[in-house]
C-alpha cells in the first residue's frame, strides 16, 4: 500500500498572529511600508506564512513574507523568518548570464584578461590538415595552413571566424553603407593611402594610412570612402563679376541725348550748383 501525503492542518494560533508578523516585517523595512495582509499560507503543521503588501516605491509588486511557527504543545507563536519576495507583477532584474555572454566589444580594459576557450569556433589549429580518405591530396590540404605557415602561432582564424569578422567590418561604420562613404568622391580601392590586408581578407579589406582620415589605422572595405581620398580635388568655382553699385540717393540722374543737351530731372538751383551748372538760365 502506498502512503498518501495528507494536507497540513491549519494552526489557528499561527493564523491569528498577524500583528506579530506585521511587527517582524516592519523590522526589515519601515512601518509605513508594510501594507495590508494579502493572505496567510499554511506551509505545514503549525507553520504559517503571512504575506503583506510592500508599499516601498522602490519595490513595486513585491511583498513581505513572514513565517511564524508554534512548537508542539506550546502556547506562544514565534517568528521563523522575514523576507521580501517578488510578486507576479514585481519589477525584477534581467536573468543572470555568465560573464562570457555579457561581454561586449569595448569592455576589455587595461590589465584585463580574456582567455579564448579551447573549443572557440572562431579559431582552429595553425597547422591543421584535412584528409580525404586515408591520404592527403592536393585539395585536402587546409588553405589556412598555407596562409599562416611559418608564423609560429598555435591557432589561427577558422572559416567561421573569418566570416564573422568580415560581416562585422563590412556592415559597420567602415563599410560601404555609412554616410561618409556615400558622400565620398571615390572608393578606398582607388585611394593611395589604402594598404591591403594579407590572406583572404585582401580581397575585400585594407587598412587606412591617412592620418587626416577618420578611419586612420582602421580596417576599411574596398568600397568604403571618405573625403580624404588621395585623388580628391578641390572643386573650382567660377565667380561672375559684380555689378557696380551706383549711389543715386545724393545725386540726380542725368539722361544724355546724342543731339541735345543733358536733360536734368527735377533739379533745383541748389542741386545745379552742386552739379557745377550756373544758377542763371542761358539767354
| Largest Cα–Cα separation, the chain | 154
pLDDT of residue 64: 96
Question: pTM of this prediction?
Answer: 0.49
Across all residues in the chain, what is the average pLDDT? 81
Pick the closest to residue 72 from 143, 147, 14, 159 (CA basis).
Answer: 14
Query: 3 falls in which pLDDT band (50, 70, 90)?
Result: very low
pLDDT above 50 for 283: no
Query: pLDDT tens-digit profile of 147-175?
Result: 555 466 778 888 899 999 999 999 999 99
Q: What is the mean pLDDT of residues 15-42?
A: 93
pLDDT of residue 128: 55
CA distance 156 to 177: 29
Confidence of residue 273 (pLDDT cuts 50, 70, 90): very low
pLDDT at 220: 95
User: What's the mean pLDDT in 103-107?
Assistant: 84
Q: How confident is the model at residue 114 (pLDDT cuts 50, 70, 90)?
A: confident
Choose among 63, 57, 64, 51: nearest CA to 25.
64
The pLDDT of residue 73 is 86
Phi/psi for 15 (5° steps) reads -70, -35
Q: Between 199 and 250, name the one with better pLDDT.
A: 199
**Which comes out higher in pLDDT, residue 252 or 53?**
53
pLDDT at 255: 66
Confidence of residue 56 (pLDDT cuts 50, 70, 90): very high
- Give the percent of the chain with pLDDT over 90: 46
pLDDT band at 145 (very low <50, low <70, confident <90, very high): low
Amino acid at each position: 500500500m502506498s502512503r498518501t501525503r495528507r494536507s497540513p492542518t491549519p494552526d489557528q494560533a499561527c493564523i491569528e498572529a498577524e500583528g506579530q508578523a506585521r511587527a517582524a516585517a516592519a523590522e526589515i523595512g519601515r512601518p509605513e511600508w508594510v501594507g495590508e495582509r494579502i493572505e496567510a499560507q499554511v506551509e505545514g503543521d503549525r507553520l504559517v506564512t503571512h504575506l503583506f503588501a510592500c508599499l516601498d516605491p522602490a519595490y513595486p509588486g513585491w511583498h513581505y513574507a513572514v513565517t511564524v511557527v508554534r512548537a508542539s504543545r506550546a502556547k506562544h507563536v514565534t517568528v521563523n523568518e522575514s523576507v521580501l519576495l517578488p510578486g507576479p507583477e514585481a519589477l525584477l532584474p534581467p536573468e543572470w548570464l555568465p560573464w562570457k555572454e555579457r561581454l561586449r566589444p569595448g569592455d576589455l580594459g587595461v590589465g584585463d584578461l580574456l582567455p579564448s576557450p579551447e573549443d572557440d569556433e572562431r579559431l582552429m589549429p595553425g597547422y591543421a590538415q584535412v584528409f580525404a580518405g586515408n591520404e592527403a591530396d592536393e585539395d585536402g590540404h587546409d588553405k589556412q595552413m598555407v596562409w599562416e605557415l611559418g608564423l609560429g602561432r598555435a591557432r589561427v582564424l577558422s572559416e567561421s571566424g573569418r566570416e564573422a569578422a568580415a560581416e562585422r567590418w563590412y556592415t559597420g561604420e567602415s563599410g560601404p553603407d555609412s554616410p561618409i562613404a556615400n558622400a565620398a568622391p571615390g572608393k578606398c580601392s582607388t585611394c593611395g593611402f589604402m594598404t591591403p590586408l594579407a590572406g583572404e581578407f585582401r580581397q575585400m579589406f585594407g587598412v587606412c594610412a591617412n592620418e587626416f582620415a577618420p578611419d586612420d589605422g582602421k580596417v576599411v572595405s574596398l568600397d568604403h570612402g571618405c573625403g580624404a581620398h588621395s585623388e580628391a580635388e578641390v572643386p573650382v568655382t567660377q565667380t561672375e563679376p559684380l555689378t557696380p553699385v551706383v549711389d543715386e540717393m545724393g545725386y540726380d540722374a542725368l539722361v544724355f541725348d546724342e543731339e541735345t543737351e543733358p536733360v536734368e530731372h527735377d533739379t533745383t538751383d541748389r542741386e545745379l550748383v552742386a552739379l557745377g551748372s550756373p544758377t542763371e538760365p542761358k539767354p
